[in-house]
Amino acid sequence: MTVLHTRPAPAVRGHAVRGRAWWWTVGTGVALLVLTAVHIVANHFVVDEVGGLRTYHQVLQYLGHPVIVVTECVFLVVVTIHAMLGLRSVLLDIDMRPQTRRRVDRGLWALGAGTIAYGIVLLLTLASRA
């Protein structure tokens, strides 16, 4: 009986990056479960209005509390990261050159950063009106 000894394959950078991206996707997914539950309960189940929706003035009052603003900002960041990683995963299913992959990564970073910046400006604008 012959036993074949094989050496482990050397670590490939692309696989390591994909592994980290997968863990980030899982982590943000778990955070989304918690943050979405908090968001839905706070915005729909503890509201006395018909239909469970806050009025504009109630939203301003709600965002007047610093903990709520921080929670909503974290929710925005987590959902954006999760979305960008998901979009990246879909786009990387297309076989592309490493140079194109880097462009996709940069584009998604820019899109995500722009989304987060815009969302935080809106949240802080509303919070300042409370």
State which CATH number among 1.10.10.970, 3.40.50.10190, 1.20.1300.10, 1.10.150.240 fits the domain covering 18-128: 1.20.1300.10
Give the mean pLDDT per block of 10 residues along the chain (130 residues). 53 60 92 94 81 85 93 96 94 90 96 98 92
| Half-sphere exposure (Cβ direction) of 66: Cα atoms closer than 13 Å | 0
pTM: 0.79
Structural domain spans, the chain = 18-128
Q: At what angle do helices 13-40 and 66-92 cross, to 10 degrees?
A: 140
